[in-house]
């Protein structure tokens, strides 16, 4: 696939964004999560292109060949939404279908909430849509959830430099542990969402004896090389803006997404499990929901772990869009 992919750098409302493009037809724009890149959509790009779509996977700001601002506040949600809309403008097209995974899902959901005119439909993988809240400040809620002896991983990522130092000791090995522990191959694996105080996240990691079918050594090398070159400040700074996002989006508290939507999660995926209350409210928050599908035995890396099922669900949904 790599030889066929067109790589482009576009000006997305003043931000340099790298795109990987494959195929011709109606555009499907895909937004990755942490710690990934455009490459996390490799299985979807070939399937979409073969089905007559133009698959476009972006590197989110802070990742790969996209811009890497040096201020934490430049990674707030509204800046990511501006990038997504700017990519649509740079492509010179009308409304496109938008798909996101992990942090890419909230970016996609929020883009559809703020700019529904630019998207034919929106699909989220792993992280269900929960409208902006006027409730407690997110970091305050996280501290209460973790208790006195641990930190929720989002809280652990807040201090600039701490998680970077841990990860950059051995980027490839850290990624392997993170991918493996959050995947569906371990039914009752370690709870890496909580970091006991006085430890590092990697102290909780387990590692596979053999690489899983969905993540080859070459795949892991591709991710590791990108992060060794670009670092983790930008990717981790997305987490460092949860309170800013709460402030920026309070005016939209409780609002539904009014365009056609789709959700795909895994029954072994933390964000999908934690998101059960949000999923239960989809009839109110996603009134044009096509389908909500929870894949049995699937972990966090939905589109990589279960590409055939994910592709089939996406193509079925895309076929219903106006």
Residues acting as catalytic residues: 102, 300
What is the CA 261 to chain-centroid distance, rounded? 16
> Which two three-digit tokens encode residue 56?
């476009």
309 exposed, middle or buried (CB, 10 Å; 0-12, 13-18, 19+)?
middle
Residues shown for the chain: 322
Measured CA angle at 36 (ends 5, 263), to 5 deg: 90
Measured over the CA atoms of residue 180, residue 277, residue 85 and residue 45, the dihedral's sign is positive
> Which two three-digit tokens encode residue 15?
């931000």
Q: How far apart are CA 246 and CA 123, in angstroms?
A: 22
> Which two three-digit tokens encode residue 230?
């670009």
Do 153 and 197 contact (CB within 8 A), yes or no?
no
Instruction: Give backbone dihedrals phi and psi of 157, rounded to 5 degrees, phi first.
Output: -80, -5
Helices (H), 37-76: 42-50
Q: How far apart are CA 104 and CA 106, in angstroms?
A: 6
Whether the upstream peptide bond of residue 35 has omega within 30° of 0, thus cis, is: yes
Instruction: Put the strands of the sheet holding 289-295 in their side by side order.
Output: 6-12, 15-22, 54-58, 27-31, 96-101, 119-125, 261-266, 289-295
Residues with Cβ within 8 Å of residue 161, at least 6 apart in sequence: none
CA distances from 208 to 64, 162, 215 (A): 26, 26, 11
Reduced to 3 states (helix: H, G, I; strand: E, B; else coil), residue 125 is strand
Do 93 and 26 contact (CB within 8 A), yes or no?
no
């Amino acid at each position: 696939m790599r030889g066929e992919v067109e790589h482009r750098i576009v000006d997305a409302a003043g931000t340099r964004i790298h795109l990987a493009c494959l195929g011709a037809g109606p555009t499907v724009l895909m937004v990755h999560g942490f710690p990934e890149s455009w490459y996390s959509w490799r299985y979807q790009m070939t399937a979409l292109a073969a089905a007559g779509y133009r698959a476009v996977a972006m590197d989110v700001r802070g990742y790969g060949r996209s811009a890497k601002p040096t201020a934490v506040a430049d990674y707030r949600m509204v800046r990511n939404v501006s990038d997504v809309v700017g990519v649509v403008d740079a492509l010179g097209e009308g409304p496109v279908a938008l798909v996101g995974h992990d942090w890419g899902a909230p970016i996609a959901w929020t883009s559809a909430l703020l700019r529904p005119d630019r998207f034919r439909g929106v699909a989220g993988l792993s992280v269900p849509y929960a409208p902006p809240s006027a409730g407690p400040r997110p970091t305050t809620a996280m501290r209460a959830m973790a208790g006195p002896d641990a930190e929720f991983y989002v809280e652990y990522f807040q201090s600039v430099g701490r998680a970077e130092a841990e990860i950059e000791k051995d980027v490839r090995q850290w990624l392997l542990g993170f991918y493996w522990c959050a995947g569906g191959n371990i039914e009752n694996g370690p709870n890496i969402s909580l970091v006991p105080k006085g430890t590092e996240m990697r102290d909780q990691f387990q590692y596979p004896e053999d690489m899983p079918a969905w993540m080859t050594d070459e795949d892991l090398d591709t991710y590791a090389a990108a992060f060794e070159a670009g670092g983790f400040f930008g990717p981790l700074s997305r987490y460092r803006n949860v309170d800013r996002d709460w402030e920026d989006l309070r005016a939209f508290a409780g609002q539904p997404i009014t365009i056609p939507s789709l959700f795909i999660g895994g029954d072994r995926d933390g964000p999908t499990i934690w998101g059960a209350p949000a999923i239960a409210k989809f009839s109110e928050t996603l009134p044009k929901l096509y389908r909500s599908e929870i894949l049995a035995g699937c972990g966090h890396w939905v589109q990589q772990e279960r590409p055939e099922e994910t592709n089939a669900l996406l193509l079925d949904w895309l076929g219903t869009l106006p």
